[in-house]
Structure 1
Amino acid sequence: MEIRRDVFQAIADPTRRQIIEMVARQPLNVNAIAENFDVSRQAVSLHVKILTECGLIVIRKQGRERYCEARLEQLQEVTTWVDHCRQFWATQFKSLDNYLQKMQTGKNQTNE
């Protein structure tokens, strides 16, 4: 059974977020990436594989080396989702604020 991966899985892990940030600055091979972490090269390779399956990294061969390059267009899906949530909650809080103001106004009128 094939596991479906998406961009949200990719950014859920802090190590993968760090890898994305690193290769966004410049293409790196897995060994160069692994030097920045206290985990095995194999563990870093698994993170890179997940990022590749999510479409956030592509592997480019240059001679005998394989370089990881960032493809951040996929992050637009996250931006869209966050914007939707932000709009939803802004509407909810505005509604709550209006309700509380009405309650406060009614309370003040009763006390006078």
Structure 2
Amino acid sequence: MTDTEGQRQAVFFDFDEAGPGYLAYELAVYPWSLYPRVPDGRASDKVEMRWKHYISAYRDKRPVADADLAAIARFMAVRQFWLLGEYAGRVPVWGSQAIPTDQLRRQVELLRQWEALQLPT
């Protein structure tokens, strides 16, 4: 691929999560990576701007149903819950400190927060 000045660029496409499934989950991966993963963590203006640009650019190329838009924040919580399961499944190898109980307690609040999160569109 070349940039606007004719210089060659390397481009990487990550198809790890691509495949059959919910569009809302696929779209949730990006805000999940942006938003703070701590209870009561407030997204910065920069984070919200990045999300707005991302979802706007996506919607310029492909329509996203209102139901999918509404489900994105919930799928952020689903992704976090799935990753907790990944960590818990490795306790026999990594030890119980890989996922201490105080971290689990904090995750409950984070999941509740994301369940109610209203992402800007």
TM-score by length of 2: 0.27
More helix, by proportion = 1
TM-score by length of 1: 0.29
Greater Cα radius of gyration, structure 1 or 2: 1
More strand, by proportion = 1
